[in-house]
Structure 1
Amino acid sequence: MATTLTPVLSRTWDTERPWTLESYRASGGYDALRTALATAPADLVQMVKDSGLRGRGGAGFPTGMKWGFLPAPDGGPRYLVVNADESEPGTCKDIPLMMASPHQLLEGVIITSYAIGCHHAFIYLRGEVVHVYRRLLQAVQEAYDAGLLGSDVAGSGFQLDVTVHAGAGAYICGEETALLDSLEGRRGQPRLKPPFPAVEGLYARPTVVNNVESIASVPSIVQYGSDWFRSMGTERSTGYGLFSLSGHVRNPGQYEAPLGITLRELLEMAGGIREGHELKFWTPGGSSTPLFTAEHLDVPLDYESVGAAGSMLGTRALQIFDDSVCVVRAITRWAEFYKHESCGKCTPCREGTYWLVQILQRIEAGRGTQEDLDTLLDVCDNILGRAFCALGDGATSTITSGLQYFREEFEAHLSGGCPFDPAKAALFEYASGSVSGAGTVGA
């Protein structure tokens, strides 16, 4: 496994006006489309299956297998929906990809649509990112004007229309069935499954829902082949991906590397933790994944290894927190987010996230009790696996892992408030048994 960066999706980001059709074509853009249009659709599906590409939106489900779940054509329409509703705290890979290289996504949309027999594709974008919305609309218009969309795609006779839809801004619409309800003009709430979208999705027709990065990875697979893609990453987590480093690193940003790279290697590329501090905790895949600590620096960032270590790779949103951060405060802010974004459809999530916030706020303020810590775990246990969708599960992840790794910090809050308040620092040192004079506390 290579430990250097592998720019594929990001290779044109530093060129002049990379978002234009002219610039994208100058770098080989849409070459893969010509190859795809000369290939049988079933062979394209098999090529993606052979590549081992797994969904880059968080779940990691094999992309080609998802395409293969579509039932046999029955003469009616089938749809491709690109999930561009990037809302996970810490996740920031799809928006820069669409900003810098919207035609890469569009080329993937066209190839995927051709492969699955779709003639109308949708890109569902988070509505707040108006600048990205305008750029996507411009790219789609450029593609229509160039004959890459419409009734005769690139002279092949294949017909495809693409609609860019801006959502109203709800985290729940990142869940694929809530996204479909929103796209149909209804309130964004998860649907009961089965039926799954592949059988009965948008407008009750067979539908493939894929993440932006997943679809944008398709052209390179078509152009260079499945073996090339499998040559990167690990045996079961193949290929490359965008790792988003944010927080207390010297050079935060997007690092495109093979799956299986470690945080230690990424931190070296990012210049390390800010001077005078040490790594305290981090998220491997956004705020809905269990926390890792410095002991996990060498865990390979692939689906299997991260799962075996007790977390999830998710969206590869690596939020880095140093020793100046109060873990209780950070977890409370995340819990407030999930409470606010719960759609309210199911009781475990609606009520559970509310009570998690009440308890955490009480603990953070120094008014909690030992019983509150047990109650937190009990509420998490009653949400996990019982909520209608994964939002409820995600809301519990940082709480249970936070108590696993930093219980003494939670207990220190019970004695009079946040120990990372400089006035409480001595109390924390006494409660945790740490040496005095920890100069980074409260920094």
Structure 2
Amino acid sequence: MMENRENQDRETYIDTETVETNESESAAPQFSGGKRSRKGHAMAKKMTTLLLSGVLFGTVAGATMYSVNVAAGRMAADSPIAAESAETASDANASGTQIATAVPLSSSSGGSATVADVVSNAMPTVVAINIKGTETIQSFFGTQKAEVSGAGSGIIIGKNDSELLIVTNNHVVASSDSIQVTFTDGEKVDAAVKGTDSSKDLAVVAVQLKDIKDSTMGAIKIATLGDSDKLQLGQGVIAIGNALGEGQSVTTGIVSMLNKEIKDEDGTSRTLIQVDAAINPGNSGGALLDMSGNVIGINSAKYATTAVEGMGFAIPISQVKELIQNLSEQKTKIAVAADEQGYLGIQMQNIDSAMSQAYGIPEGVYVYKILDGTAAAGSELRERDVITEINGTKVSTGEDLHKQMSYYKTGDTVTLTVQTLDDGAYKERKIEVRLGSREDANKM
């Protein structure tokens, strides 16, 4: 049902499932995990049709971009406001990583304020994000690569000694080779990924402070993060984002459902804020605000559907404050040239939540086979291990692992966090692997 919409969206935005290349469609991995649930028999049939992502790290990951949309809607023009303007980015303390939290704010009139008052204060905290990348597509003619571009939004949530920090959705930047941020004054600056978590659909990107003009620093602000746990049904909300990739826009609505459980196409469940709002491409990663101007959600059009109108979704900010802080403190990642990238040398299979429950295997990247003579073969990594992190960054899929590998050169040593089956139970291990080269991989 979604196929027609996806093809239609592809003209400007990419809104598809992640595509995995496969090396052997007929050889589905035989899992021997921990305790198997009653769903195992039903899942066994499903497993025979799964595509084994038999990818040697050295091929381009088959990742695609999702289109980016936002929750927006309708709301009364007037509402009491009790918040003060967020500090400008140039005023913020630059010592360490600073993440702003909710502070009192007063309207320009000193009394009740319109939506315009809230928007005027919050607009400088939201940025437009544009990316360029490469998509790998499976077709009748085989695997093909295509250059893609996409648009999304982001929220300025802090800065450290050298960087301005912006939170967005992971799917906005997941397939990016380059990222450009546009601030409220129209200034465009390059950005780089700092940390990502695909399981929560969150990413933090960084802009070097030295690349931002003084005038722009004076125009932008750091957003204040509110408390989504205090939201009530019917409460007014405002969404700001880069609608249609054509610049910042504002929509309004109300909270129509709290703790709405939504399942991804891979079976992962998430608890989101549902708002009475239309969905517009380009707004994913933008701010969902309360009527005090505090960020209470991060809009995500990944969960939007054309089947029902008036339903938009946002990630509750209180659920992810700690994660945002952790992502903000990671080392900024700069992609390495393709011919210099390090390689691991495994065949792998994604373990999503449904497969995890059916087979008793932890979620992550299942090592189906280790190829002889590669970096993996010379390490303590074992077949049937499940990779969950690389250098402290969570990886939920092979695409996540491919993306992270693009930041490391041949000869770099990375630390993999893996789950290893031992006496019928999975135990966590840390493994150091010195990455091999493309030539090593091609010889196998």
With the length of structure 2 as denominator, give the TM-score of the two structures: 0.28
Between 1 and 2, higher relative CO (CA 8 Å, sep ≥ 6) is seen in 2
Higher strand share: 2
Name the TM-score, length of structure 1 as normaliser: 0.28
More helix by proportion, 1 or 2? 1
